[in-house]
Amino acid sequence: MERKMEENTVREAQTVSESGGEDALVGNVNKLMVSPPGYSGAPRKGHLVFDACFESGNLGRVDYISDFEFDLFIRPDTCNPRFRVWFNFTVENVRETQRVIFNIVNFSKTKSLYRDGMSPVVKSTSRPKWQRLPPKNVYYYRCPDHRRNYVMSFAFCFDREDEVYQFAYCYPYTYSRLQHYLASLERRNLPYLQRELLGLSVQQRRLDLLTITNTEHLDPEREKKLVFLTARVHPGESPASFVCQGVIDFLVSQHPVAQVLRDYVIFKIVPMLNPDGVYLGNYRCSLMGFDLNRHWQDPSPWAHPTLHAVKQLIVQMNQDPRVSLEFYIDVHAHSTMLNGFMYGNVFEDEERVQRQAVFPRLLCHNAPDFSFSNTSFNRDVVKAGTGRRFLGGLLDDTSYCYTLEVSFYSYMTAGSNVPVAYTEETYMKLGRNVARTFLDYYKQNNHIKDNTCQMSEVTAQTADRKGGAAEKEASDREHVRSVRN
């Protein structure tokens, strides 16, 4: 068995990626059939075949324990053995009604939402929608057989022989998925959306920048308010991409609130800061093993090209007297806490501290899954190289820098103690609510006329109640005329 694993690793190390010639997936198992020790006959149904040699895949090793139990080892981040959290793999050649226990045995973190009911997600060939496994089938415990490391075990019953089953830590959102999404946006030829190539990663993947604003309506005599949003600096934090897509979907929509926001605000969005890490199936690091969210102070154009490009752009915009960079929000996912929440900075000026709390308070009103009580403001030394901390020190006192976190697992609404598991859709809904909150913020600050806001809110509520597409479009058109006039 060990010889088979070694041969498989050698084969995988020789794999050449189609996307540019790099050894993109080194260390992942590649169509590895796991049969009982000493077995030498023809493969049988039930001799499971494991594979993680695909985009965002991660599974480094499989040990046969018995016919119904297997120890699975997460492949560490490339060039950085410290991080072993994300997994994403397929299983095939199953036997109908075959019951198995999979033990993920080498997590690098001890604290985990698996203690609180989180479970992996699964899909199969004929059922392509991801579902969470029942929490009662998942166990998280210290294991004496693995040096008392924490192990996550889950039980599963394969029900269809010809299916390929896929298991993951959380809903994957790949680099290719983002590229398909951005290409579909481009094809719509929206006059208020611009997509640019801001730079390339080490492995020559795109670093995309979206600009969303109505350039015709912006007053040239008035300082332009700018909101900058980034996501997926940590590649295994896939919920961040769903939140980011929710923001984008809302801002490019015909929703009345989105139309008003585009008239008054410029939104710049970098949806994937670490495309190589996402592609490779890393949890926290880039191809070269760097945690990019610790290198904002002095990013290298060679080692951290995506971060370097984004920082240069932000510094350049901050020096432009015609632009007021008001918000920087970096979207992440959290592995030990529930709900959405924010981290902010600590300042000596008490008034600035109070002003910084305004946006998360407003978001709390708009998003039932957002927790202001979990939101905190700090200046930990270890966070000095993060985007939030570095830009908080660089930008002036009218700018606010936040990390937006969302749980890998679930949220609890006010007055309830029953966690509700996040889905792809509810992650995106949080993003839509983040976008809507900018209207409330700029209404409070008198940047957007109050009567405009009231009209947009009434129109939006009417459209939401009507529900029909035709009625909503008519309502939106009426709103646009009233605002423009």
Q: What is the pLDDT of residues 43-76, one digit of tens each?
A: 899 999 999 999 999 999 999 999 999 999 999 9
How does the average pLDDT of the chain come out, rounded?
A: 88
Rg (CA), the chain: 24
The pLDDT, as a whole number, for residue 43 is 87
Helix (H) or strand (E) holding 327: strand 323-334
**Whole-number Å distance between alpha carbons of 144 and 161:** 34
How far, in Å, are 297, 339, 406, 423 from residue 426 at the CA level? 34, 11, 11, 5
Who's near 467: CB < 8 A, 6+ residues apart?
Answer: none
Once rounded to an integer, what is the mean pLDDT over residues 21-50? 83
Q: Which two tokens stand for residue 358?
A: 């305004």
DSSP character at residue 45: T
In this predicted structure, the answer to whether residue 370 has a pLDDT above a threshold of 70 is yes
pLDDT grade for 322, boundaries at 50, 70 and 90: confident
Contact 239, 406 (CB under 8 A): yes
How far, in Å, are 140, 360, 380, 452 from residue 343 at the CA level? 28, 9, 11, 31
Which candidate, 24, 36, 34, 25, places its Cα nearest to that of 60? 25
DSSP character at residue 164: P
The pLDDT, as a whole number, for residue 44 is 93
Once rounded to an integer, what is the mean pLDDT over residues 124-142? 97
**216 or 431, which is more confident?**
431
The pLDDT, as a whole number, for residue 451 is 57
pLDDT grade for 378, boundaries at 50, 70 and 90: confident
In this predicted structure, the answer to whether residue 317 has a pLDDT above a threshold of 90 is yes
Who's near 413: CB < 8 A, 6+ residues apart?
Answer: 368, 369, 420
pLDDT grade for 457, boundaries at 50, 70 and 90: low
Once rounded to an integer, what is the mean pLDDT over residues 74-89? 97
Once rounded to an integer, what is the mean pLDDT over residues 299-308? 97
Contact 410, 422 (CB under 8 A): yes
Q: What percent of the chain has pLDDT over 90?
A: 73
**How does strand 138-143 pair with strand 206-212?**
unpaired
In terms of phi and psi (left: phi > 0; alpha: psi -120 to 50; beta: otherwise), the region of 148 is: left
Catalytic site residues?
405
| Alpha-helix runs per DSSP H in 338-449 | 350-356, 358-366, 387-394, 424-444
Query: What number of other Cβ atoms are within 10 A of residue 171's Cβ?
Result: 18
Q: Which two tokens stand for residue 354?
A: 């109070």
Which candidate, 301, 300, 295, places its Cα nearest to that of 385? 295
The pLDDT, as a whole number, for residue 449 is 72
Which candidate, 365, 361, 362, 371, places its Cα nearest to that of 419? 371
Q: How far is CA 332 from the centre of its chain?
A: 6
The pLDDT, as a whole number, for residue 470 is 42
